[in-house]
Chains A and B, each alone.
Chain A
């Protein structure tokens, strides 16, 4: 049940492959996991957010945005470029082990793993708009890193931000 509930919550929140958007580019070029594009966001065959990197290295807006948000909200524990630190594990590898829904669940609810030999504690970000309004961005960025599709550092070229993404961002950051 846990998965389903979250899928509903965040599906509603992020406009996950929902009706009303302009679906385009069925059958995208390249070997990436993206199956289709909608309002500047890319999705897999299963309707899960993912990255898209063109042959000339241009990354989609969400991946670029994820790079920025990751290095504001996550890297102080998880290290630069999703590489991990002496403090917390590499998230570029975590997204290869867990699926999108588990990722969103963990970010929302945090982790408590404390005993004699572990002190792994991640806070709950469910109330933090700087994280939750960009959780898809962060996920697709890390997925691109984990798949080996994106090198370390700031992506050199990116797609433009679409009006739909701007509108979602404004609504999410303003919402209660």
Chain B
């Protein structure tokens, strides 16, 4: 109880100024000329209200200016624009540039942290970073080594720094942070190293730790109330974060928290998902492994979990649940509802009531998905909310040292972190996806702190009997649970989408193309080859009355690891050599920002 009292008192102390910080940021988010948060707004819409560039004229788009980041490796996330300044971040070493938009992009200041390079190889899938955040005249950077730094937005001077984890035991960071009220809320990476995931709030002004909620552990760690925290409408019960684990395995349980976060100011709830349970060998961790693979709704001030929903109990395929939660107000059966839509790695798109956690829709958003026949939607059923696992594709049922073949999707998921966009104008979600399947053979591994803790061999290949490509860009109806249209892509679409009031949707491809398509039909309206593959997210802003579109190029990330050499399909049999298209035939490393505009 001691912890709980501490949380409450801190929350009470902060309550006075919380509204102020929120109001300023909310106001800025509502101004479409700026791009003040990675996700576009708290609801993760990735929607720009600007309409100067529209579906009639987007075909005339041209490059306005470019900027080299000076760093190789995978460039995820996007720049921010606040006032006349653009903030550009890089992968490790996590440089931040402040560019003066009124002075031809002159560098106002540059911040480069000194980090121990030993953090590089404990970042499982490239040294990506998904960008900085802004609030209260401060830029927040969460470095690879888990140091959080608050920088004066005008000068780049360090206001404070805090350390969130220990890279020596595999704790690292790739995610942005979420400024809410007086806090910045941050996650952690390292699921492949046996890290126990958590979400932590730091005071925005001082860097002091306010609360921390773990993904698994006793209630005092998970910040759960056995009676009032609910799972599918029912109380979770005492110590639900240890009850479905064998022995002390929850201590190296995974469930890391490296995705995009969203926030509902009215409900004061923060939403995010947790990653895979470690190891990838399911036989070594019997039970549901709660609360890995789970959607969390936590109180922003105290961290207390209001509701949870575990999408993939006892993961057998590495289907992390970290993808973004997109918050919308839409009509369901004639009633306005506060919804949460989530495109999970497991290939299912979920629509929930975000106030209560009620499950409304769970449907496949790629027809290739085969590991499940679907989710039990009957509230009276003992398996309510659980996916029905097809035995043929169950790596747990087939067991250790057995190669389970033809599982769709691959461990990359039908979608990874690359965020979808939502247009309130079309009430449609625009989703970058993977179209890749796998063979998966789990085997026994031992745990060593700071060392990979994987325990499975994977082979990945494009979805069989399809268009041969490894990705699709789809439009999704979250009420009906249906694909509206789908654009086949040669490679996984690993770039975050942007929808605009001009009824144009933008996304990047791994070959390096920035594409614009019609929000209604998906018809391609514009395409431009940038210098390197795109795994960054498209953003938009206005300066001196002109609308701009910005995108970071710089191939890498897990896509760069999995696809650089191309994929092979073992089912093609001996003799079918060479594999599918190799990304390295199309693009090479290099970080660059490209900014587009209409001709003057």
Most buried by A among B125, B455, B561: B561
Interface residues of B in 408-456 (CB under 8 A from A): 439, 441, 443, 445-446, 448, 450-456
Asked whether A86 and B570 contact (CB < 8 A) given A72-B457, A80-B460, A130-B445, the answer is no
Nearest CB on A from B100, distance (A): 25
Tally of contact residues, A, Cβ under 8 A? 38
Asked whether A84 and B439 contact (CB < 8 A) given A73-B454, A125-B451, the answer is no
By the criterion CB–CB under 8 Å, are B459 and A80 in contact?
yes
Q: Which listed residue, A83, A110, A151, touches B574 by the CB 8 Å rule? A: A151
Q: Which listed residue, A86, A110, A114, touches B74 by the CB 8 Å rule? A: A86
Binds A, one of B114-122, B148-156, B158-166, B296-304: B114-122
Interface residues of B in 43-65 (CB under 8 A from A): none
* Residue B77 is within 8 A (CB to CB) of chain A in the complex: no
Complex Cα distance, B258 from A17, in Å, reads 47
Nearest to B532 among chain A residues (CB) is A86
By the criterion CB–CB under 8 Å, are B561 and A71 in contact?
no
Residues of A near B280 (CB, < 8 A) are: 72
Q: Which listed residue, A71, A79, A110, A130, touches B121 by the CB 8 Å rule? A: A110
Nearest CB on A from B418, distance (A): 16
Nearest to B571 among chain A residues (CB) is A153
Q: Which listed residue, B121, B125, B451, B567, touches A121 by the CB 8 Å rule? A: B121
* Residue B589 is within 8 A (CB to CB) of chain A in the complex: yes
* Residue A67 is within 8 A (CB to CB) of chain B in the complex: yes
By the criterion CB–CB under 8 Å, are A85 and B565 in contact?
yes
By the criterion CB–CB under 8 Å, are A86 and B560 in contact?
yes
Tally of contact residues, B, Cβ under 8 A? 52
Nearest to B170 among chain A residues (CB) is A123
Nearest to A73 among chain B residues (CB) is B452
Residues of A near B441 (CB, < 8 A) are: 68
Most buried by B among A69, A72, A75, A83: A72
Asked whether A121 and B459 contact (CB < 8 A) given A76-B454, A80-B562, A152-B577, the answer is no
Nearest to A110 among chain B residues (CB) is B121
Residues of A near B584 (CB, < 8 A) are: 86
Chain A, residues 18-40, CB within 8 Å of chain B (1/0): the string is 00000000000000000000000
* Residue A122 is within 8 A (CB to CB) of chain B in the complex: yes
By the criterion CB–CB under 8 Å, are B574 and A57 in contact?
yes
* Residue A109 is within 8 A (CB to CB) of chain B in the complex: no
* Residue B403 is within 8 A (CB to CB) of chain A in the complex: yes
By the criterion CB–CB under 8 Å, are B564 and A85 in contact?
yes
By the criterion CB–CB under 8 Å, are B574 and A79 in contact?
no
Asked whether A122 and B121 contact (CB < 8 A) given A152-B579, A154-B439, the answer is yes
Asked whether A77 and B561 contact (CB < 8 A) given A128-B448, A152-B579, the answer is yes
* Residue A173 is within 8 A (CB to CB) of chain B in the complex: yes
Complex Cα distance, B569 from A156, in Å, reads 12
Nearest CB on B from A70, distance (A): 8
* Residue B126 is within 8 A (CB to CB) of chain A in the complex: yes
Chain B, residues 322-363, CB within 8 Å of chain A (1/0): the string is 000000000000000000000000000000000000000000
Interface residues of A in 155-176 (CB under 8 A from B): 156, 173
Chain A, residues 40-75, CB within 8 Å of chain B (1/0): the string is 000000000000000001000000000111011101
Q: Which listed residue, B121, B126, B192, touches A123 by the CB 8 Å rule? A: B121
By the criterion CB–CB under 8 Å, are B118 and A121 in contact?
yes
By the criterion CB–CB under 8 Å, are B562 and A87 in contact?
no
By the criterion CB–CB under 8 Å, are B127 and A86 in contact?
no
Nearest CB on B from A125, distance (A): 7
By the criterion CB–CB under 8 Å, are A87 and B560 in contact?
yes
Complex Cα distance, B579 from A131, in Å, reads 27
Nearest CB on A from B413, distance (A): 15
Nearest to A72 among chain B residues (CB) is B454
Asked whether A154 and B570 contact (CB < 8 A) given A85-B564, A87-B126, the answer is yes
In the assembled complex, 9 residue pairs joining A and B whose CB atoms fall closer than 8 Å, in A order, are: A71-B457, A81-B568, A85-B561, A86-B556, A86-B561, A110-B121, A119-B120, A121-B121, A130-B453
Q: Which A residues fall within an 8 A CB radius of B?
A: 57, 67-69, 71-73, 75-77, 79-81, 83-87, 90, 110, 112, 114, 119, 121-123, 125, 127-131, 151-154, 156, 173
